A and B are shown apart, each in its own frame.
Chain A
Amino acid sequence: MNETDLHFFIDSTMNYFEEITNEKASAGIPYIKDEEPVVLEYTGIIGISGKRKGSVYITTNEAMLREIAQIILGMEDIQSEDFKDLVGEIANTISGNVRQAYGSDFMISVPVVVEGKAKDIKLPDNIQSFVVPLTWKDYKSFLVVCLE
């Protein structure tokens, strides 16, 4: 993965927050993922195959999803299923935007959603993964990109 790839994913995520919520998110200093798990309460994972292979996931907490859901759906009563749909949708939008940039030989899977703090998200061992801490309002989340 090169600088342009990682920038694409970060910019795509930033754009998502700004377009959907009218409020900018900020990216922290990215770092190389080690054995320490990077998992919060809800995680949306997208598999990438085709010319490039890997995965990308966004992981966040219920509080942030609740606020985004309120903005998008205008709902107060939000259920666990809604949070799952939303985090999957965020992951899908980010990857979809990147796919548009890379062209149609970049395949993305349907989002896989993990609810609850899993031990970690399994990523390909032979590819370096990069973690980008994100802050939207006061909420923390992480974007993890693993692309060969």
Chain B
Amino acid sequence: MDNITPNSSKEIILQTLEEGVFFLNSKHEIEDEYSTAFENILDQRVSNGQNFLELLKSRVPENIINNTIEFLNLMFREDLDDETVNELNPLSTVEFHFENRWGLWTSSKFLSFKFKRVIQEDRIVRLVGTVKDVTKPVTLTKKIEEIEETTTRQMDWLVNILRVAPPLLKEFVDVSETELTQIDNEMKRFKGTDDTKIILTRVIKSIHQMGNNASLLNLNFFTDKLHAFEQEMQNLRKKENIGGSDFVPAVIQLGEIRQMLKDIKNLMQRFKHYSHTLRPTRRFEGGLLLRTIENLVEKLARELNKQIKFNTDKFDHTLIPYSHQEIFREFLIILIKFSIFYGIETPEDRRSNNKKPEGILEVETFGEKQLCGFKLRHDGRLVRIERLLQKTIEMVQSKSDRDHPIVSDQLGSEVIRLLFMPSLATPTLSEAEYIREIFGEMEMVKKKLKMHRGKIKITFTSENFCEYTISLPVN
């Protein structure tokens, strides 16, 4: 210890301190003694006499630099109280920005500076400054705040999501992502000369489709977002001379929707390992199938101002093998949509035809050794399409072998083609759009039906009765 002079002791202290320590004169210059940690924390070399504010340049925003100048000047004023001035310290927690060699921001550090006056003979001769790296606690606090915010939002989502069977939710996310990609592609392909209204119509159609799907699964948080967006696009479509800038709200909201889907996927991923305990039983999933179609009937009846009694007493989902539930769900949704839209009349129409104001829609499942399926009946009017269908069936029947089943695969596809052909029943534009939507859905289902060697049959026994039968081989 003999060879340690007071000077070198100070140096050792300055070299070993974990805190950055430095001194500033009244010109805000760094005096020659400062701790090694000071340079390390700032990630830059410091030279004696260097102006402290130089160290802040390009590291912190201009307003903080201006406030620091003012604050340091106040620190040197003897007529002001030290503690009071310190409350104005703009560097008490400050984000230091670091750039790459191109000058582009790459990372940040959060630093905490404190300043004390050094007084000699009742005069403030300099300031002693200390700096600590508080990145970890600051980022941790921010992260906790973010998590809290996300958790609050996602808890509401979870209430919705956990009610939906995982395969249905996955399908919903996949289909929605495909729709969003289509929208992105439409927007990307836009040439200045194109009609923006055509693009808007396509965007609205996709969003409407996604909204319907979300509504069927009772994903209210998503439905609300999509409906608000669709409404905004409808309003935009009414505008004359739509320019590219008018699409700014659309593209921002699409970004938010994409982010929501990403969050849903993350939630699904996080809950994947709970799938064995949280996954609904197959019996429960069968119940979900029924609940989905009940929701659909209720929603469509409300939207179309129709009164419908939906009879599901003969619907036994256990008769449908688990592997077939998805395709049955798709068929049910499409046929229900069609029956309510075209078949079942409004209470006023029904009264004028001497019918009860409440229409009847019934679904019944059946299962045999090698065949399973469902029948969907309604007591609404027989529309022109159905009459055409009857003729088609008769026509195909007369051409077919007498021993052959009346409704063959070929007929099934012909029936579906006619049933969902847009040109056959498009009294208004909205109906035309609606039919096109169903037609699009039907294309996929048709392929699936063919793949599963399934059959469709349509029966009319009176002017007030129409029954669709869908059957699939069990194996």
Contact = CB atoms under 8 A, between A and B. Distances in A.
A and B pair up: yes
Interface of A: 1-3, 6-7, 10, 26-32, 34, 45, 47-51, 53, 55, 103-107, 109-110, 112, 128, 130, 132-133, 135
Contacts of A53: 105
A49 B192 contact: no
Interface in B367-392: none
Interface of B: 58, 61-64, 66, 97, 99, 102-105, 108, 184, 187-188, 190, 192, 196, 199, 243-245, 247-249, 251-252, 254-255, 258-259
A30 B251 CA distance: 6
A132 B188 CA distance: 10
B251 to A, nearest CB: 4
Nearest to A7: B248
B103 A30 contact: no
B61 A106 contact: yes
Contacts of B247: 29-30
Contacts of A109: 99, 102-105
B105 A31 contact: no
B55 to A, nearest CB: 15
A29 B196 contact: yes
Given A48-B105, A109-B103, A28 B61 contact: no
Contacts of A50: 61, 97
A104 B62 contact: yes
A103 B63 contact: yes
Contacts, number: 95
B184 A32 contact: yes
Contact of A6 (B61, B64, B248): B248
A16 to B, nearest CB: 15
25 contacts: A3-B252, A7-B245, A7-B248, A26-B192, A29-B187, A29-B190, A29-B251, A30-B187, A30-B248, A30-B251, A31-B187, A31-B188, A45-B102, A45-B104, A47-B104, A50-B97, A51-B61, A55-B104, A104-B66, A105-B63, A105-B64, A107-B97, A107-B105, A128-B255, A130-B251
Contact of A112 (B64, B104, B255): B104
Q: For B102, B188, B248, B259, which residue has the most chain A Cβ atoms within 10 angstroms?
A: B248
Which 3 pairs of residues, A with B, have the shortest CB-CB distance? A47-B104, A49-B105, A109-B103
Nearest to B64: A105
A15 to B, nearest CB: 13
A109 B99 CA distance: 9
A10 B245 contact: yes
